[in-house]
Amino acid sequence: MNIGKHKRCNMNRFLYIILFLATLLFSCKNENNKPIVTQDKKPKNILFIAVDDLRPELNFYGAKHIISPNLNKLASESLVFNRAYCNIPVCGASRASILTGMRPTRNRFFDYSTRADVDVPFATSLPKFLKQNGYTTRSNGKIYHQIDDDSLAWDAIWFPDGNIRNYQLKKNIEENGNANLAVAGATAFEMAEVNDTAYFDGKIAQKGIADLKLLKNEKKPFFLALGFMKPHLPFTAPKKYWDLYDRNEIELPQSYVQPETTPSEAFHNFGELRNYGNIPKSGEIPDDLAKELIHGYYACVSYVDAQIGLVLDELKRLDLEDDTIVVLWGDHGWNLGDHKLWCKHVTFETALRTPLLLKVPGKTSGQTTDAITEYIDIYPSIAELVDIENVPKTVQGKSFVPLLKGEKSSKDWAVSKFKDAVTYIKGDLFYTEWIKDDGTAYARMLFDHSTDSLELDNLAEKPEYREKVKALSKDLREKWGKDFLSE
């Protein structure tokens, strides 16, 4: 008998047993059902949160008077985009542009009633692209402006029942009936002693929570889109959120003026607000009413913040947090008395600049970027983050994923438009032209944010800026490309 060989065999068996036990140990899960040793893998799920009319007046953008602890927490775990811009400042068109990754043109993605499946029926939207690549896709609340737009992209579409304007006070309900638009007598704001679920956003949050529980048990990755309604008009929120703010401390914006140097084309009569019965049909908004509107907007921001917090808490409770990318965006900016304007529908920065947060587990932790980003960049970025190639050729955006690696963006410009107005953003310069069908400009506006962040001094007609305007006009047309006057 070969004793040495026998010992070596026993030793080999011993090592095999040790290796087997070690493998078994490290593959076991603890009492919280989490792997003891985590793998270095990319998150696969996507929580896509849209907030209607949310402007970047938030703590992490320097507005310390806003009470939004849940958005603040999300920002501390995300990459915060300081210079994100919508491609068109009107909800329906902006959402169609974001979800298809395509720019608006002169006659495509035009206004609030835009339908992506009508304007670009040949396009593969982001949810449809993900669905084709094995994702469960669910739309809750307001994602597209038209609820049934791009319906084949979704495994399920849900929208809360009731009056879209969400009045709860008996007087307001009786006066407004079930109207989907503001009508004579409707109020632009409401402060009611009701629970959070009395208004749509509370219901949307609860539906999102229920969906997360459902999706956790599926074996497929998910794309869960939650479209919150506030702070869109009317400013209706439970009283406790109004009580967070002192009306006496609310001030009108520094830019509460319309300088003579700014072309008249830049202003409008904010008809969206004028539709409400307690708003003057013409002229300026009285200061006290302006402050009441601002108060209502702030209350709605705090209200929707609380609802988003509930969803994010559930994501964590279900142990989905480490495997889920979170993207939060507002569909455009909003004028809250800036330039004595209200609502969107203009190309001042207040209507174009938007909040954008990207949380990628293991990759983001409160970083900020000043890279100029367009909303059409969201689509290709999500595709890259979840390792799906062959993005449709119709997608015109550029992935901002290199920013997560600390790389510098290779694109330092953005283009936005509203009706005839096209704005080219390059560095600190914001240049706008109002353009006829034949491509000629009939008004211009240029602001240098390095010296005029409030956009009160239009430089476009000053002789010393003639060559600069000429160069910017050329760049604008080159960047807009073939879509400049496209059908």
Determine the Cα–Cα distance for residues 279 and 117; give it in Å rounded to an integer.
35
**Structure pTM?**
0.90
Has residue 37 got a pLDDT over 70? no
Determine the Cα–Cα distance for residues 397 and 378; give it in Å rounded to an integer.
7
Has residue 31 got a pLDDT over 50? no
**What was the pLDDT predicted at 377?**
98
**pLDDT band for position 171 (50/70/90)?**
confident
Rounded to 5°, the CA angle 104-56-137 comes to 60
| For range 166-172, the mean pLDDT | 87
| For range 14-38, the mean pLDDT | 35
The alpha carbon of residue 3 and the mean position of all alpha carbons in its chain are separated, in whole angstroms, by 74
The residues, ordered by sequence, that sit 6+ positions from 313 with a Cβ below 8 Å of its Cβ are none
Choose the weakest-confidence range: 30-39, 289-298, 388-397, 405-414: 30-39
pLDDT, tens only, 219-229: 899 999 999 99
Are residues 422 and 480 in contact, defined by beta-carbon separation less than 8 angstroms?
yes
**pLDDT band for position 483 (50/70/90)?**
low
Neighbour-count burial for 195-226, b at 16+ CB within 10 Å, e otherwise: ebebbbbbbbbbbbbebbeebeeeeebbbbbb
Q: Which residue is catalytic, options 28, 86, 91, 300? A: 91
**What was the pLDDT predicted at 39?**
36
Instruction: Taking each helix axis as running N to C, give the angle between helix 69-76 and helix 287-317, from 0 to 180 degrees, rounded to the nearest 10.
Output: 50
| For range 301-322, the mean pLDDT | 98
Q: Which residue is catalytic, options 145, 232, 295, 345? A: 145
The residues, ordered by sequence, that sit 6+ positions from 90 with a Cβ below 8 Å of its Cβ are 111, 112, 332, 344, 345, 418
Bigger pLDDT: 420 vs 13 = 420
Rounded to 5°, the CA angle 462-344-379 comes to 100
**pLDDT band for position 173 (50/70/90)?**
confident
Has residue 19 got a pLDDT over 90? no
Determine the Cα–Cα distance for residues 187 and 167; give it in Å rounded to an integer.
9
**pLDDT band for position 323 (50/70/90)?**
very high
Has residue 15 got a pLDDT over 70? no
- Residue 114: its H or E element: none
Determine the Cα–Cα distance for residues 408 and 401; give it in Å rounded to an integer.
10
- Residue 304: its H or E element: helix 287-317
Are residues 472 and 449 in contact, defined by beta-carbon separation less than 8 angstroms?
no
Amino acid residing at 273: L
- Phi and psi for 141 in degrees, rounded to 5? 80, -145
**What was the pLDDT predicted at 2?**
46
| For range 24-46, the mean pLDDT | 47
pLDDT, tens only, 69-109: 999 999 999 999 999 999 999 999 999 999 999 999 988 99
Mean per-residue pLDDT over the chain, rounded? 90
**What was the pLDDT predicted at 41?**
65
| Residues of the chain above pLDDT 90, percent | 79
CB atoms within 10 A of CB 405: 7
Beta strands in 113-161, from DSSP E residues, in sequence order: 136-141, 156-158
Specify whether 343 is catalytic: no
Determine the Cα–Cα distance for residues 153 and 148; give it in Å rounded to an integer.
10
User: What is the rounded (10 degree) CA torsion for 336, 339, 340, 341?
Assistant: -60
Specify whether 145 is catalytic: yes
The alpha carbon of residue 166 and the mean position of all alpha carbons in its chain are separated, in whole angstroms, by 22
Q: How many CA atoms lie within 13 A of 225 on its CB side?
A: 29
Are residues 292 and 189 in contact, defined by beta-carbon separation less than 8 angstroms?
yes
DSSP string, 226-246: EEE-TTSSSEEEEHHHHTTS-
Amino acid residing at 239: K
Helix (H, G, I), strand (E, B) or coil at 320: coil
pLDDT, tens only, 431-448: 999 999 888 999 999 999
The residues, ordered by sequence, that sit 6+ positions from 408 with a Cβ below 8 Å of its Cβ are 371, 402
